[in-house]
Amino acid sequence: MASMRALIWDLGGTLADTYPDVDRALAAVLEPRPGPELLHEVAMLTRLSSSHAISTLAARHGVPERRLRSAYEQTKRDWRENPPPVMPGARELLSAVRERGGLNLVATHRERASAASLLDSLGLGVDDMVCAPDGYARKPDPAMNRALLARHGLEPVDCLAVGDRPADVAAAAAAGVRGVLLETEGIPLEAGDAERVISLRELHGRLCLDSE
Q: Which of helix, strand or coil describes residue 212?
A: coil
Region 3-8 average pLDDT: 91
Q: What is the mean pLDDT of residues 9-27?
A: 97
Q: pLDDT for 80-131, tens place per residue? A: 899 999 999 999 999 999 999 999 999 999 999 999 999 999 999 999 999 9
**In terms of residues, how long is the chain?**
212
90-103 burial string, b = 16+ CB within 10 Å, else e? Answer: beebbebbbeeebb
Amino acid in the structure at residue 144 = M
Segment 42-66, tens digit of pLDDT: 999 999 999 999 999 999 999 999 9
pTM to 2 decimal places: 0.93
Residue 210 clears pLDDT 60, i.e. is over it: no
**Cα gap 205→95, rounded to integer Å:** 14
Query: What is the spatial distance between Cα 49 and Cα 147, in angstroms, rounded to a whole number?
Result: 22
